[in-house]
Amino acid sequence: MSRLPVALAAALTIAAGLGVRLVWDGPVSKYAGDALYTVLIYALVMLIRPAIRPWVAALMATGLSWAIEFAQLTEIPSVLRPVLGSTFNPPDLFWYAVGAGAAFAAHVLWLRRSPACP
């Protein structure tokens, strides 16, 4: 897969995350943000390894999101807290999986509609 559509998807994901925070408050923005965080990680995995299989990218994105969440059970340096968070919240684990599933589904649909992609 070409890196350009993936880079655009990453930029749109960031814009969506910021937009959600502007429009909604409370649990909607929090859990949408969690899902979009993992979508962004999925896109970054795809930028690094464009030929990776979608299911592998989804597992990697979920695993990394979960690892970051579980790291919050330890002391995260204050400089990293804005990016990695600071408070473990078990429901976040579910929403990370939702984000990875959505990214996987979008990726598979993109591959099926695009005849030029293997």
pLDDT, tens only, 43-84: 999 999 999 999 999 999 999 999 999 999 998 888 988 888
Q: How confident is the model at residue 1 (pLDDT cuts 50, 70, 90)?
A: low
* Cα end-to-end distance, the chain, whole Å: 8
- Is 96 domain-assigned? yes
Q: Which two tokens stand for residue 106?
A: 């979008």
Residues recorded for the chain: 118
Query: What is the domain count for the chain?
Result: 1
- Is 88 domain-assigned? yes
Query: How does DSSP classify residue 1?
Result: -
- Is 45 domain-assigned? yes
Model pTM score: 0.88
Query: How does DSSP classify residue 47?
Result: H
- Is 118 domain-assigned? no
- Is 59 domain-assigned? yes
For 95, other C-beta atoms within 10 Å of its C-beta total 21
Whole domain around residue 101: which residue ranges?
3-113
